[in-house]
Structure 1
Amino acid sequence: MIAFAQRPASGAWSEAELNIVVAALNLPDGDWETGTTECGDAQPYLLGPRPEQACELCVSRIDGRYILEDGAGRLLFDHENLALVAQQARGALRRTNWWLVARVVVLWCTIRHVIHDKIEPLLTESEELLVHLTPQLVAFA
Structure 2
Amino acid sequence: MTVVAFERKHDTGEWSERELGTILAALSAATAPGTGREWETGTTEKGDVQFYLLSPLPDQACELCVSRIGGRYILEDGLGRLLFEHRNLDLVALHAKAAVPSTSWLMVRAITLWCAVRSAFHEKAEPWLVEGEELFVQFVPQLAAFA
TM-score range, shorter chain: 0.5 to 0.7
2:95 corresponds to: 88
1:39 corresponds to: 46
> Are 1:9 and 1:41, in contact at CA under 8 Å, matched by a contact in 2?
no
1:13 corresponds to: 15
Matched, 1:52 2:54: no
Q: Secondary structure at the match of 1:46?
A: strand
Q: Secondary structure at the match of 1:89?
A: helix
Unaligned runs of 5+ in 1: 1-6, 97-103, 116-141
**Cα offset, 1:38, TM superposition:** 1.0
1:132 corresponds to: none
Q: CA RMSD in A?
A: 3.5
| Aligned equivalents of 1:79, 1:8: Cα separation in 2 | 16
Task: Give per-residue Cα distances to partners, 1:97-128, cap 9 Å, x unaligned.
Answer: xxxxxxx8xxx9xx99xx9xxxxxxxxxxxxx
Task: Give per-residue Cα distances to partners, 1:1-36, cap 9 Å, x unaligned.
Answer: xxxxxx665411011100100001102487100000
Matched, 1:23 2:30: no
Q: Secondary structure at the match of 1:13?
A: coil
Please identify runs of 4+ aligned residues in structure 1 that moved more than 4 A: none
TM-score, L = length of structure 1: 0.61
| Aligned equivalents of 1:57, 1:94: Cα separation in 2 | 11
Letter aligned with residue 27 of structure 2: L
| Aligned equivalents of 2:87, 2:9: Cα separation in 1 | 19
| Percent identity over paired residues | 60
TM-score, L = length of structure 2: 0.58
Map 1:64-75 to 2 at 5 A.
64-75=71-82
> Are 1:34 and 1:43, in contact at CA under 8 Å, matched by a contact in 2?
yes
Aligned length: 112
Unaligned runs of 5+ in 2: 1-7, 104-111, 125-147
| Aligned equivalents of 1:38, 1:74: Cα separation in 2 | 19
